[in-house]
């Protein structure tokens, strides 16, 4: 169980990340909203305006879900329709085009509304069930998902304009601790393997931190390194670890530019992110 103080820290992180993003969006040219097809992102098929629309959409869904959950209602909001994977992009683009030049203002308004709600919650409300497309989850879980999305998608947008962009430093400890919980909620192994493939990540820093990722039998199991022999050992900093695992940093380019090094089977190393697919 996550302690109340940690949840409050995540709520503050959400506030910090949304304020940082709003300040960055303010600097962008109007064409980002007026002619969105010009501005791609590391998210496949998503433009910058699509990422912003997604953050607005999810923030609004969380606001409605938590508000209803506090009243004891964990049913799907009537105004929200869960799209199929095939419909998802089309629905996003339709909403993006409807917002048009107001995307920046809608993002600010939605963040203020959700953030104010989160700040108003008491510790006794963090375990309140709230609706989510994947089921009913405690408010604390929606807080974690919101923080993760703002941190990662914030990088997606900044990287589109600055190839040296890095994840928010204040978010890194949270991202490292919650990376695999996030992936387990949104993906599964893409291949059935008779023998597990063990990947080890050794992170740079004053404290030597190491994680093992075992892919086998259609499942992903991750945790602190143990005494098993790894098939591949990656070495990188926490920023590259998060971005590489999430598929944002291509293997060959990351190795060539020194953001990632490895020992072991190069074929398996290059296949790391191909083992995962969304669910």
Domains of the chain, start order: 4-165 (1.20.120.450), 188-278 (3.30.1050.10)
User: How many whole angstroms separate alpha carbon 232 and alpha carbon 245?
Assistant: 14
Cβ atoms within 10 Å of 217's Cβ, excluding its own: 14
Which pLDDT does position 44 carry in this prediction?
81
Q: Which residues of 84-113 are buried (b: 16+ CB within 10 A; e: fewer)?
A: eeeeeeeebbebbeebeeebbebbbebbee
The answer to whether 47 touches 32, Cβ cutoff 8 Å, is no
Whole-number pLDDT of residue 279:
40
pLDDT value of residue 152: 96
Query: Distance of alpha carbon 107 from its chain centroid, rounded?
Result: 17
Res 185: pLDDT:
57
Pairing of strands 232-236, 197-203: parallel
Residue 249, pLDDT score: 93
- Please report where in the chains the tokens 């992903």 appear, as a residue: 220
Give yes or no for a contact between 123 and 6, defined as CB atoms under 8 angstroms apart: no
| DSSP H or E segment with residue 197 | strand 197-203
With beta carbons less than 8 A apart as the criterion, state whether 114 and 59 touch.
yes
* Nearest of 189, 247, 182, 181 to residue 216 by alpha carbon: 189
Burial class (CB in 10 A: 0-12, 13-18, 19+), 65: buried
Q: Are 151 and 175 in contact (CB under 8 A)?
A: yes
Q: Which parts of the chain sit beneath pLDDT 70?
A: 184-193, 217-218, 276-279
**Contact by Cβ (8 Å): 186, 217:** no
């Amino acid at each position: 169980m996550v302690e109340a103080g940690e949840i409050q820290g995540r709520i503050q992180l959400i506030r910090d990340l949304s304020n940082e993003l709003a300040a960055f969006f303010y600097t962008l040219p109007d064409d980002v909203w007026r002619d969105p097809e010009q501005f791609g992102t590391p998210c496949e098929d998503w433009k910058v305006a699509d990422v912003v629309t997604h953050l607005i959409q999810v923030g609004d869904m969380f606001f409605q879900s938590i508000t209803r959950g506090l009243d004891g209602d964990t049913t799907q909001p009537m105004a929200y329709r869960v799209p199929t994977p095939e419909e998802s992009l089309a629905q996003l683009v339709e909403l993006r085009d409807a917002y048009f030049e107001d995307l920046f203002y809608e993002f600010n308004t939605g963040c203020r509304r959700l953030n104010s709600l989160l700040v108003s919650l008491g510790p006794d409300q963090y375990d309140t069930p709230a609706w989510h497309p994947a089921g009913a989850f405690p408010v604390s879980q929606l807080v974690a998902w919101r923080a993760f999305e703002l941190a990662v998608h914030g990088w997606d947008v900044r990287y589109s304009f600055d190839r040296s962009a890095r994840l928010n430093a204040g978010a890194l400890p949270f991202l490292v601790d919650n990376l695999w919980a996030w992936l387990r909620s949104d993906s599964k192994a893409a291949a059935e393997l008779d023998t597990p493939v063990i990947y080890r990540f050794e992170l740079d820093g004053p404290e030597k931190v190491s994680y093992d990722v075992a892919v086998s039998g259609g499942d992903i199991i991750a945790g602190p390194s143990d005494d098993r022999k790894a098939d591949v050992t990656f070495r990188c900093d926490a920023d590259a670890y998060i971005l590489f695992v999430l598929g944002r940093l291509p293997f060959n380019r990351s190795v060539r530019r020194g953001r990632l090094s490895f020992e072991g089977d190069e074929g398996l190393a290059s296949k790391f992110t191909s083992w995962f697919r969304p669910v």
